[in-house]
Structure 1
């Protein structure tokens, strides 16, 4: 008595597999082509959305200064907090900005990305 079924035959497969692919009557190839078309459309949408310059690209192009770059990054980092009261959101951004200027690890990260060290904002 063997443990495996090697050489003993396996389950029989239906002979008309294309009828089983989709109940809607589409063939497997048509389904794949349709999905490929959807992914091409999604790729082109992503390409259009990706045309806006990132904060780092704007900084490197001279469109914004380091403070503008950090403000945009803080806006991105706190975008999910938009439901908070404006005073609370401003306090969070101020605390994060202070950390960016004083935490040695964060200062090094900003220097590496932007090429210059952040400073505490005035005011």
Structure 2
């Protein structure tokens, strides 16, 4: 959602786990992000929001301005022995594929869990 949505969730204490498939292009749209904790390059950067700043104007005037919410869990289709590593966009954004990847996830530095219950072939 936009910054207002993200702030409202935060103020209500809502806990969000944002699952991201590394191969899913949908998780990277819309194209304008106004995430104040943007660490897409692995850097912790705060974006300054002064009245009249570019970020403040983008957020106020652009309905496509988007802020990620919650903690990110990054999964990777290439880790699953059941999913094609060169799958198309539809497969990369498929809910069953996401559930399968979450079920097989142990840690970012561990292989796919072999006894994952949600096995599927795509």
Shorter chain as normaliser: what TM range? under 0.3
**TM superposition score normalised by structure 1:** 0.22
Q: Which structure ranks higher in relative contact order (CA pairs < 8 Å, sequence separation ≥ 6)?
A: 2
**TM superposition score normalised by structure 2:** 0.22
Indicate the structure with greater strand content.
2
